[in-house]
Structure 1
Amino acid sequence: MVFRQLFDATSSTYTYLLGDLPSGEAVLIDPVYDNERRDLALVRECGLRLVATLDTHVHADHVTAAWLLKQRCGSEILLSRAAGAANVDRALQHGDRVSFGNRHLEVRATPGHTNGCLSYVLDDHSMAFTGDSLLIRGCGRTDFQQGSAATLYRSVREQILSLPPGCLLYPGHDYRGVTVTSVAEELRFNPRLGGDASEADFTGYMQHLGLPHPKQMAVAVPANLQCGRPEGTGALPVQPDWAPLTFTFGGLWEIRPAALEELLAARTLPALQLIDVREPQEFNDSLGHIPGALSVPLPELMARVGELDPARPLIAVCRSGARSAQAVVLLQKAGFTQVANMGGGMLRWMAELLPVEVSSA
């Protein structure tokens, strides 16, 4: 099974990718709207197909990417029936099962933080995804969105901390950089819900937290009651349209050599800037260079950036795609917005038998 834990620094939210390699099916738990491109790039690079998104609850601190991901790749939107949200494809209840290939997640209702909180338990009980119901050495607040301290206490003790001691617990957030805990650890060390803490102890604790409401609450809750669908037309975020680009998990736009060659041959993009960031001697070695490319070695790039036009699309090339990826990062920092890396570099260009030229010495 493929398992990845992803992080959104703005809201301190964890997103989880689970994939079944034999079938290629995958699910995402608690995806964040602003990270949709990153998450889909990871799914693609892992050789998986996203079949569903699962939110643990209606979030108050970020907007879910569930609707956006459905538009991009057809994944189903799964959320608690008790949440009462629109645009849900499958409304989940306690005891349901969510399958992805040969694996599945058990759905456990764990209300208390909100009325519609769910926790997802992997089929072999080796890991569980607790959302905000149980955090590492803490838990979600209970003072809004139908919250109830007494209900949350019973949810966590009966549905999460009753799992095997070695079961790894993955929360919806962590604000200290801690990534995972276990049932045994939380039973022993959680100051709110572990040890001999009673329901009365927990309720008294939660009544005196005095926390401010999340900064994004006024935006996030209404949006998440629509599963992240934007108001009005529901238009998708703009994708680059100047070339057939693919977004990578590393955070860069890339173009395939064959696609670049088609652009160059058709001359459909006369404003295109093509720079080769290899050393001068490499520009004319056995690999040659792409016809029309400008030699701008990476160590000279920032000093020569004035030779390039930030208003025109630009593609960077090198031997393997590594140095040109760094060039793209530097150009983005310099204000270039239409910039991409040629994936695989000249090695892939040559492997695909695309045209090259070698300048005479």
Structure 2
Amino acid sequence: MTTNPIQLFDTESSTFTYILAAPGDTDAVIIDPVARHWERDLRHLERLGLKLRLVLETHAHADHVTSAGKLCEMTGALAAVPGGCGIAPAELQLQDGEVLRFGPGEEIRVLHTPGHTAGSMSYAWRRNVFTGDALLIDGCGRTDFQGGSAQALYDSVTGKLFTLPDDTRVWPGHDYQGQSVSTIGWEKRHNARLAGRSRADFARLMDQLDLPRPKLIDVAVPANRNLGLPHGG
């Protein structure tokens, strides 16, 4: 049986947060929580009788502040972050290929998927993959700041994410079109930015996007490198 994650949404930044829990056990993991929703997220855990063990970040976000530090303080969970994102206070600095364990036999595989940022990670669990901003539904994350690279993102998606089984469910870090979940097979065939495109074509496309600078980047990135906690806190 493939267990679906609990998918929560922040309308201001269009960010998805995910809670993972295995059937018949109380251990839980949360991915990419948002600061303004820490109470909401704790209520979800409480209602379901879950104990938070790990707080995962896919990267140091530029468009919202994380509640990772707050949730860890409140629950005793450990923060697990990409080792290349400069999030120094986190207990677990993850590297490509590591396996995180929670509950009785649950495993999350760590996949280094740089390109949106240099350190970005995706997380694979039970035929689900949580792709952060590397792979979005019918799109992908931008590549023009925080050590981003269109060539690296193309390699991450085609060389790592698209090698997962076609029926793997894709749970993105954001959505701006009212979509919530896709599959690897669908994205390989239909993704508007990636399907049927060469590495050079993709790089040209990304270089021409000319996107506005994220409004919160100067606040969010430093805050997120401290797990969303006040410096010195």
Q: Deviations over 1:23-56 (max 9, x none)?
A: 3100000000110000011011111100010000
Distance 2:112 2:192 in 1: 23
1:176-195 mapped onto 2 (5 Å cutoff): 176-194=177-195
- Note if contact 1:112-1:133 (Cα within 8 Å) is conserved in structure 2: yes
- Note if contact 1:17-1:26 (Cα within 8 Å) is conserved in structure 2: yes
Q: What letter corresponds to residue 132 of structure 1 in structure 2?
A: D
Residue 123 (structure 2) pairs with residue 105 (structure 1):
no
- Note if contact 1:2-1:17 (Cα within 8 Å) is conserved in structure 2: no
Q: Deviations over 1:259-300 (max 9, x none)?
A: xxxxxxxxxxxxxxxxxxxxxxxxxxxxxxxxxxxxxxxxxx
1:308-347 mapped onto 2 (5 Å cutoff): none
Residue 229 (structure 2) pairs with residue 229 (structure 1):
yes
Instruction: Kindly report structure 1 stretches of 4+ aligned residues shifted beyond 4 Å.
Output: none
Distance 2:46 2:4 in 1: 12
Distance 2:39 2:84 in 1: 29
Distance 2:65 2:100 in 1: 22
- Relative to the length of structure 2, the TM-score reads 0.96
1:60-79 mapped onto 2 (5 Å cutoff): 60-79=62-81
Please state how far the C-alpha of 1:2 moved relative to its aligned partner: 6.3
SS in 2 for 1:230: coil
Q: What letter corresponds to residue 112 of structure 1 in structure 2?
A: G
Q: Could you say what the CA RMSD is over the residues aligned between the two structures, in angstroms?
A: 1.1
**Structure 1 residue ranges without an equivalent (≥5):** 235-361
SS in 2 for 1:70: helix
Residue 172 (structure 2) pairs with residue 171 (structure 1):
yes
Distance 1:148 1:16 in 2: 26
Distance 1:2 1:136 in 2: 17
Distance 1:157 1:46 in 2: 37
Q: Deviations over 1:183-204 (max 9, x none)?
A: 111111112111x211001000
Distance 2:184 2:53 in 1: 29
Q: Deviations over 1:105-161 (max 9, x none)?
A: 100000010011000001x4x210000000011100000000000000000011111
- Relative to the length of structure 1, the TM-score reads 0.62
Question: 1:84 matched to which residue of 2?
Answer: 86
Please state how far the C-alpha of 1:21 moved relative to its aligned partner: 3.7
Question: 1:332 matched to which residue of 2?
Answer: none
Please state how far the C-alpha of 1:85 moved relative to its aligned partner: 1.5
- Note if contact 1:61-1:216 (Cα within 8 Å) is conserved in structure 2: yes
Please state how far the C-alpha of 1:229 moved relative to its aligned partner: 1.1
Please state how far the C-alpha of 1:80 moved relative to its aligned partner: 0.7
Q: What letter corresponds to residue 27 of structure 2 in structure 1?
A: E
- Note if contact 1:131-1:173 (Cα within 8 Å) is conserved in structure 2: yes
- Note if contact 1:112-1:150 (Cα within 8 Å) is conserved in structure 2: yes
Query: 1:114 pairs with 106, 114, 117, which one?
Result: 117
Distance 2:87 2:7 in 1: 26
Question: 2:150 matched to which residue of 1?
Answer: 149
Question: 1:5 matched to which residue of 2?
Answer: 7
Cα separation, partners in 2 of 1:164 and 1:72, compared to 1, 3 Å: same
Question: 2:204 matched to which residue of 1?
Answer: 204
Q: What letter corresponds to residue 87 of structure 2 in structure 1?
A: A
- Note if contact 1:21-1:48 (Cα within 8 Å) is conserved in structure 2: no
Identity percentage of aligned residues: 46
- Which protein has greater RCO, CA pairs closer than 8 Å, 6+ apart? 2
Residue 218 (structure 2) pairs with residue 218 (structure 1):
yes
Q: What letter corresponds to residue 51 of structure 1 in structure 2?
A: R
Q: What letter corresponds to residue 74 of structure 1 in structure 2?
A: G
Q: What letter corresponds to residue 85 of structure 2 in structure 1?
A: A
**Structure 2 residue ranges without an equivalent (≥5):** none
**Bigger share in strand:** 2
SS in 2 for 1:83: coil
